[in-house]
Amino acid sequence: MQKYSGFGLLKHALSHHENWQRVWRNPTPRTHYDVIIIGGGGHGLATAYYLAKEHGITNVAVIEKGYLGGGNTARNTTIVRSNYLWDEAAHLYEHALKLWEGLSQDLNYNVMFSQRGVLNLGHTLQDMRDIQRRVNANRLNGIDGEVLDAKQVQEIVPIMDCSANRRYPVMGASWQPRGGVARHDAVAWGFARAADRLGVDLIQQCEVVDIQVEDGAATAVVTKQHGTIKAGRIGCVVAGNSSVLAQMAGFRLPLESHPLQALVSEPIKPVLDTVVMSNHVHGYISQADKGDLVIGAGIDGYNGYGQRGSYPTIEHTVQAIVELFPIFSRVRMNRQWGGIVDTCPDACPIISDTPVENLFFNCGWGTGGFKATPGSGHVFAATLAKGEAHELAKPFSMYRFYDGALIDEHGAAGVAH
Amino acid sequence: MFHIYCPYCEEHREEEEFHAKGQAHIARPPAPDDCSDREWGEFLYFRDNPRGLHHELWVHAAGCRKFFNITRDTQTYEIRETYKIGDQPAVSTNPDQ
């Protein structure tokens, strides 16, 4: 595989950039793989990469119904942070954040990870108490964080209205300087290219229609385009469609699929150099390198697989953004879309074995999976390689919904998305 | 934007007057103390979440404030019927019937 470098860019300039290699192969599937990963989004591709890199398992296929990174990976608002309240979640997301910090070098692919800091605003006294508790918990877990007052917030974001006479005045914020954003497409492409280089087969346009189970163990996947493909172990990383795949294998998950939408504005000059999130008025915003304001909304309350969101939800979100940033009131919105997120009752993921042997699920990331992409892939790869949960993944078993050991991050983590 | 027929108000109203409350027809176990952890967990947390027809519970929150059921397609978002609590759906989610 070609190594990307500044020198390579110069060299290819001499031949008018016409001789770049294809970024990955387009293989015909074999009849048997040691591990099949269903779902070619960021988490699935990261899983395949770490399986090959960390565990030497290269007879691996990633099976994707559409194209790589075309689902929620391409639909999120790209925010990365690890300031979660509970130890189990904080450790998992911090594991991911540490991988993010070396990811471009590791993959030899620029994922444009920009640690521009994340603000989680507080608008009420109770918000500020929760923020203090969370920042203290973060610091005890070795995660960077500070509690800021309104004046300090104003210094970081001069264009935000932090005056005391707003309906929901900004009273302060938590500030995680190591948080930031990354280019979501590049994350999928970088993992795909690196996994392909290590021998993983990336099979696109291939829909799984059934999972074969014999004597309580999964043995193969049945695909619409390429027939039956046998597998030693199967990992499902399919976000909103997790319940559909679980049903194929004959069990249910504690998940509900909801549309979650986001929108971007027309490109404008640089005006916002950090990430601002507000749980209370429910809006979050950052500015992409090409100038678009990237705005995230909440989920629609009803179950849905339609990949489009409702208008009232957009309206509420834009109201919140304009309340915080009156300067944006006349910015025009360019595009709006929805992704299907698999929400868990405790707002934490499921990384788990299942009632079916050799079948594992990595799902339930709900509204906040992008930030965990490398960490999720890393621990799920270990889980698939060894057949038992990675140390960091153990608390995230689906059986916690039987024994009651939930990790209640709802509201606690400033859990916008 | 959904226009939802409330079977109590007997009128179509806009989506914003309603809240979705998840899967309908989930019976509370008659003797919770006798449930195993697994049975109780299934009752509390595990859901059908189909891609297709779904019976779901809604509440007319900014209207009559009564709960009722909807049979809705979660992919096309078509509402097939709404019916009162205690009634059974006329549309089956099982394609064979």
**DSSP alpha helices (H): ranges in A115-159?**
125-140, 150-156
Rounded Cα distance, A199 and A86, in Å: 37
Cβ neighbours of residue A373 closer than 8 Å, sequence gap 6 or more: A42, A43, A46, A73, A96, A187, A191
CB-nearest partner of A311 from B1, B46, B72:
B1
- Judged by a CB distance cut-off of 8 A, whether residue B16 touches chain A is yes
Q: Which of B16, B47, B77 sits opposite A256 (nearest CB)?
A: B47
Please count the other Cβ atoms lying within 10 Å of the Cβ belonging to residue A412. 18
**B35 HSE (CA, 13 A, CB side):** 16
pLDDT of A417 reads 47
- Put simply, whether B94 touches A (Cβ < 8 Å) is no
**Is A250 in the B-facing interface, judged by CB distances under 8 Å?**
no
Within-domain flag for B7: yes
pLDDT given for residue B96 in this prediction: 57
Segments of A252-292 assigned E as strands: 256-265, 275-278, 283-287
Cβ atoms of residues B22 and A303 within 8 Å: yes
Q: Phi and psi for A239 in degrees, rounded to 5? A: 45, -115
Nearest to B49 among A243, A312, A401 (CB): A243
Please list, in sequence order, all residues whose beta carbon lies within 8 angstroms of the beta carbon of residue A313, skipping any fewer than 6 positions away: A261, A297, A298, A299, A300
Which residues of B are less than 8 Å from A304 in CB distance?
74-75, 77
The tens place of each residue's pLDDT in chain A, 417 residues long, gives: 789 999 999 999 999 999 999 999 999 999 999 999 999 999 999 999 999 999 999 999 999 999 999 999 999 999 999 999 999 999 999 999 999 999 999 999 999 999 999 999 999 999 999 999 999 999 999 999 999 999 999 999 999 999 998 899 999 999 999 999 999 999 999 999 999 999 999 999 999 999 999 999 999 999 999 999 999 999 999 999 999 999 999 999 999 999 999 999 999 999 999 999 998 888 999 999 999 999 999 899 999 999 888 999 999 999 999 999 999 999 999 999 999 999 999 999 999 999 999 999 999 999 999 999 999 999 999 999 999 999 999 999 999 999 999 998 876 555 554
Domain of residue B15, CATH code: 3.30.2270.10
Is B91 part of a structural domain of the chain?
Answer: no
Of B38, B47, B76, the CB nearest to A254: B47
| pLDDT single digits (tens) A323-358 | 999 999 999 999 999 999 999 999 999 999 999 999
Q: Does B29 touch chain A (CB under 8 A)?
A: no
Is B66 within the bounds of a domain?
A: yes
In a domain? residue B21: yes
Residue-wise pLDDT for A47-75, tens only, equals: 999 999 999 999 999 999 999 999 999 99
Residue B11: inside a domain: yes
* Cβ atoms of A222 and A214 closer than 8 Å: no
Query: CB contact, 8 Å: B95 with chain A?
Result: no
Q: Taking a contact as any Cβ pair under 8 Å apart, which residues of chain A between 336 and 355 contact chain B?
A: 345
Please report whether residue B94 resides in a domain: no
Model confidence at B94: pLDDT above 50: yes
Alpha-helical regions (H) of A263-392? 311-324, 373-386
Number of domains within chain B: 1
B89 falls within a domain: no
| Mean pLDDT for the stretch of residues B55-70 | 97
Cβ count within 10 A of residue A350: 25
The confidence score (pLDDT) of residue A411 equals 60
Instruction: Please count the CA atoms within 13 angstroms of the CA of A231 that sit on its side-chain side.
Output: 33
Distances (CA, A) of A99 to A93, A96, A194, A337: 10, 5, 15, 29
Cβ contact A192:A67 at 8 Å = no
Count of CB pairs separated by less than 8 Å, A with B: 71
Are the Cβ atoms of A254 and B46 closer than 8 angstroms? Answer: yes
Name the helix (H) or strand (E) containing A182. none
> Which domains are present in chain A?
27-82+84-109+184-251+346-403 (3.50.50.60), 118-178+257-343 (3.30.9.10)
Q: Rounded distance, CA B89 to CA B69, Å?
A: 8
Domain that holds residue B21: 3-29+37-84
Three-state secondary structure along chain B?
Answer: CCEEEECCCCEEEEHHHCEEEEECCCCCCCCHHHCCHHHHHHHHHCECCCCCEEEEEEECCCCCCCEEEEEEECCCCCEEEEEECCCCCCCCCCCCC
Rounded to the nearest angstrom, the minimum Cα separation between B53 and chain A is 10
Q: Which residue(s) pair with B12 in the sheet?
A: B5
Structure tokens at A193: 């290219």
In a domain, B90, yes or no: no
Which is nearest to B14 in space by CA: B67, B47, B63, B86? B63
